[in-house]
Every structure is written in C-alpha cells, then in structure tokens.
Structure 1
Amino acid sequence: MERSFRAAPLSLVESLPNADISYAVADVTNKEEVQAVADLAVEKYGRVDVLYNNAGVMPTALLSERRFDEWRQMLDINIMGVLNGIAAVLPIMKKQQSGQIIATDSVAGHVVYPTSAVYCGTKFAVRAIMEGLRQEERENNIRSTMISPGAVDTELYNTINDPEAQEMLRKNAQTEGYGLSPGDVADAVVYAIGTPETVSISEILIRPTKQPI
C-alpha cells in the first residue's frame, strides 16, 4: 500500500512534463509531516496561496458493531488531518495577509444515515471547523471553502471494510447520473480558487443529478 501511495504523486508529475511541480508525501495525521509540506512550499515558492485538505476515509458499519479502530481512524484522518493542515499554513497566510484554505466535506456533512453515523459526524465537524476558521480569520483576508460532494467515483470506497457495501457504493458511483467524476469536483475547486480575494465561497454542495439524498 505504501509503495502504490507514494507512486501516485510521481505518476501525476510524469503525466505533466511541462509543469513545474514539487511534491512531498505526508501522513495527514502527523502534524510534523504536514508542516514539512507547507515549509517546502514556502522554501520553493515563497508563499502558500491555497491549501486543500482532501484526505479522508469512510468505513461504514452500524454503531452496534463497536468498531473502535475504525472510529479512531476516521477521527484522526477526517478531523485531525484537517486541523493539522490548517495549523501548518495559518501562520504563513496571516503573515501574507492572504490565502485560501479548502477542505473536502460531504453531503454526509448535511444528512445522517444508517451505517455512517461516525463518518457523518466527522463531516459535520469539518463544517463547524471551517465556519469557525472563516469567522476567526476573515480580517486577515484568509478565505475558507468547503467542497461537499455526493457520490464520487474515487478510491475512497477502498476504505470500506465490508466487501458487499464497498462494491455496492462503488457501482452506484460509477453509474451515470448517480456518481460524480473526480473532474466534476475539480471544476468546483477551480471555480472557488478563481474568485477574487474579496469573494469567499463558503461552500459548494455538488451532487450527482440522480442522487436521492
């Protein structure tokens, strides 16, 4: 797993030979590794314009199954990962008096449904954190944006340990009209980043047209 994960950024770099890209691999639950990514950006480019907190996991199960390890994993990655990213760049952005922090939330940050109570809880928490960030840092010209997608055809479903649930959700996301492509979400992110500094897009809620919730 570690090998394939580390190969992913390199593959992206190789697919864009004419782009100036620097990258570092970091575990979002490790605040020192996250800080090192922010420091690399400052060292190479002199500033940090945008941070996108996008890491997340989505194990699903009933609360009665008492999956303590999965609960802890979701709290550490989905919530602490976002906080570690915010903490790494806030001093830089405050010094710049500009910057934008983006986090992937979810439709699950607006509704709760069976087998996903803890996952939904982490996404509700991200909404609260990002709104608090907006209120606290607006005078420093720091923008905060949440991207809240519905079903998206990504590797997120690999984090579901129940094979049947994993396959069902994956098939739904791959069905036209019931799942978004990564490009659909990327377009929303590009739009939010492209707005003027005087405009703060607090949230973009983006669903597949046929998604019922």
Structure 2
Amino acid sequence: MTTKTNKPLVAITGASAGIGKCLAYTFADAGYPVLLMARRKEILDSYTDIEEKITAKVDVREIEEIKQAIKLAESKYGKVDLFINNAGIMPLGSYLTQPLSEKYDTIDIDVKGVINGMDSVLSDMVERKHGTIVNISSIAGRYTSIDHAIYNGAKAAVNYITEEARKENAKNNVRFTLIEPGIVQTDLAKHSTDMDALKEYSEKIEAVNGGLDPNFIAEMILKIYELPQEVSIKEVLLTSTKQVG
C-alpha cells in the first residue's frame, strides 16, 4: 500500500558515504521519501533520523538488485521520480602497473553501474513522460591527469552516455543532469593500492583545502531537481576556486 506523501520518491546509489550520504539527508530533510542503496546496508540502516526511507543492499553491477530495491520502495512510496547515479570508485595508479582487477572494477561500477541505474527507471519515466536522472561524473571526464587513466575513461564514458540519452529523451519530457565535481571531501580514492599515487593525490587535496564540501553538491542537486520539469540544467562543472584543473 502506498504511503501518503506530498513528494515523490528519490532513489540514490552509493548512499553510504560522501556525496551519497549528503544526498540522503538533504532530500530527506526537504521532505522526500528516499530509497538508499549501497553495498553496506548496515550503514544505511544507521540513519535512524531519516524516517521516510527504504534501505537496500545493492551492488550496482547487478541490475536485478537495483530493480528489486526499486520495486520494494515503489510499493510504499510510489514511482521513482528522481534517480541519482552516485555510486563510484576511483582507484589510482599508472596504466602500466595498475592491477587489471582495479581497471575492470572501475569500468564495472563507474560505467556499467550507471547504465544499470538508468535502465532500471528510464522506460517507466518515458511511459509517464516525467522523471529526472542525475549522473554524478567528474572533472576527470573532461581532463586527463596522472594516475587516472581508467577513471578518466570511465567518467568520459558517463559524460557521453548521459549527453546522448538526454538528447534522445528530451521529447519524452525526461531530464538528465550531469554533475562533474572536482576534488570533493570524500574517501573516493580509498580503493587505491598504489600508495605513491595516493600520496600525490593527497597532496593535491591539501592544496585545495580538502576540496568541495559534499553537502554543497547535494544541496545544488536538490535545487536543480526542484526546478519545473520544463527546465533542464543539463550539465554542471564545479570545483573549489583554488583547483586549477
């Protein structure tokens, strides 16, 4: 039975930390019921101060896990009107020495995971002629940098997939927004096994005072989403003022 709520359901992947956690609280505080997905469901369950929520253990590489989570949430809160593809990893290392497993994980989570998220909701949004998909990419999708070869490629793929999907579905009244942050105050690089690359990246973080506050990004996405459906903010590239590129 659908719970009565004045606002539609918002689905967020990678909601256990960083931007995803901030998104969970930002939208919940604004009165939206939220579907929170992550591999670490116990962390999502610890958000006891968010009342209107469904939590689900989801690996974005597995589309059926996303679909089952959506089915569960929609049975209580109605259709997903906003889907935020936030889950991602950024293991650093030179192309030559980075383990193949890290390369494949980056592509599977950062690219295939986004495709799985989009494919889980887009057809229904097209049928309803209403909905918004926000894909969290990165400045790395525009500019390459040392020790980021695979991550650069993954985020560039997200950029182009989002752009073309948006063009194809504009006639269907479905919005796509691409968010491309620079360095953010998160633990995104924690999966790195190359300690030299991680040290160099840590120095870059220090040079920009830790990077962007993820709460700012979450609040910006809320404002973008709450614009009328006929208004589409297609792309936002943002960094700390001190970040050069």
Q: TM-score, normalised by structure 2?
A: 0.79
**More displaced, 39-48 or 203-212?**
39-48
Q: TM-score, normalised by structure 1?
A: 0.90
State whether structure 2 residue 60 is matched by structure 1 residue 28: yes
Provide the residue aligned with 2:154 in structure 1. 122
Distance in structure 2 (CA, Å) of the matches to 1:96 and 1:174 = 46
Distance in structure 2 (CA, Å) of the matches to 1:107 and 1:74 = 16
State whether structure 2 residue 31 is matched by structure 1 residue 15: no
TM superposition shift of 1:91? 1.9
State whether structure 2 residue 218 is matched by structure 1 residue 183: no
- Structure 2 unaligned regions, length at least 5: 1-38
Q: How does 1:140-159 map to 2 (within 5 A)?
A: 140-159=172-191
Distance in structure 1 (CA, Å) of the matches to 2:99 and 2:219 = 35
TM superposition shift of 1:64? 1.5
Q: Deviations over 1:177-203 (max 9, x none)?
A: 450111121122112111110011111
> 135, 159, 164: which is aligned to 1:103?
135
Distance in structure 2 (CA, Å) of the matches to 1:171 and 1:181 = 17
Q: Deviations over 1:129-150 (max 9, x none)?
A: 1011101111111100111110
Distance in structure 1 (CA, Å) of the matches to 2:183 and 2:209 = 10
Distance change in 2, residues 1:86/1:203 (3 Å): same
TM superposition shift of 1:173? 3.4
- Structure 1 unaligned regions, length at least 5: none
Q: Number of aligned pairs? A: 208
Distance change in 2, residues 1:174/1:49 (3 Å): farther
**Counterpart AA for 1:143:** R
Provide the residue aligned with 2:238 in structure 1. 206
**More displaced, 201-210 or 79-88?**
201-210
Q: What percentage of aligned pairs have identical amino acids?
A: 33
How much is the aligned-residue C-alpha RMSD, in angstroms? 1.9
Kept after mapping to 2: 8 A contact 1:177/1:209 = no
**Counterpart AA for 1:48:** V
TM superposition shift of 1:5? 2.1
State whether structure 2 residue 107 is matched by structure 1 residue 58: no
Kept after mapping to 1: 8 A contact 2:114/2:135 = yes
Runs of 4+ in 1 over 6 A off after TM superposition: none
Provide the residue aligned with 2:118 in structure 1. 86
Considering fraction of residues, name the structure with more helix.
1
**Counterpart AA for 2:167:** Q
**More displaced, 33-42 or 126-135?**
33-42
**Counterpart AA for 1:187:** E
